[in-house]
Chain A
Amino acid sequence: GQNIDQPTEMTATEGAIVQINCTYQTSGFNGLFWYQQHAGEAPTFLSYNVLDGLEEKGRFSSFLSRSKGYSYLLLKELQMKDSASYLCAVRESNYQLIWGAGTKLIIKP
């Protein structure tokens, strides 16, 4: 069946590094996305991985291992504004997106 798992909530300290994991079981694979969603707002695109390896974009990096059905989002030099939910989504072979429930990240001073 289709399933995407990510932790419900994580807490980290301002200035630190945090890794948010996502594991998936889907019908085929055609890319993995990470989105950021601040409370009460719309999700916004962060990253896209379709090949194994690390994609770096400023303070944010995303890693994919297709053989393990695993991805992580790495946030460095955490800022208070990074407090948000982070959504993992997998695009299946039919181009439909399957979404995880999201990880709420709380940043403490």
Chain B
Amino acid sequence: IAGITQAPTSQILAAGRRMTLRCTQDMRHNAMYWYRQDLGLGLRLIHYSNTAGTTGKGEVPDGYSVSRANTDDFPLTLASAVPSQTSVYFCASSEQGDTGELFFGEGSRLTVL
């Protein structure tokens, strides 16, 4: 089944540890995104990539980094996790075009203690 796969689904992490959230899509979409979702707030864009080899900063990029070595993969790395990074993280992709509808992965719930 075509779509976006995220891993891990859930993780508890000690503050100061490094963590990479994985995201893979098989729809050959050019654009990919990482969002975080916190209670009472709208989805907030962390980083995005319009095409393989390029990345850009979103609304809340500090403490996070991404890479886009190929079309399918878009990992998100927390270099040194802090408790404020406790959140649900969603990876998404879209085709360029009229609607630019986003397709989301199932999310990664991260708890930083």
Secondary structure at chain A's binding surface: helix, strand, loop or mixed?
strand
With contact pairs A42-B106, A42-B107 given, residues A100 and B100 touching in the complex (Cβ less than 8 Å): no
Judged by a CB distance under 8 angstroms, whether A97 is at the interface is yes
Interfacial chain B residues near A50, Cβ < 8 Å: 98
Instruction: Report whether A43 and B42 are in contact in the complex, using a CB–CB cutoff of 8 Å.
Output: no
Query: Which residues of A (82-101) have their CB < 8 Å from a CB of B?
Result: 87, 89, 91, 95-101
Judged by a CB distance under 8 angstroms, whether B99 is at the interface is yes
**Interface size (A, Cβ < 8 Å)?**
22
Q: Mark B17-48, 1 if CB is under 8 A from A, else 0.
A: 00000000000000000000000111111000
A72 to B45, CA, bound (A): 24
Query: Which residues of B (75-107) have their CB < 8 Å from a CB of A?
Result: 90, 98-107
Residues of A within 8 A of B (CB): 4, 31, 33, 35, 41-45, 48, 50, 87, 89, 91, 95-102
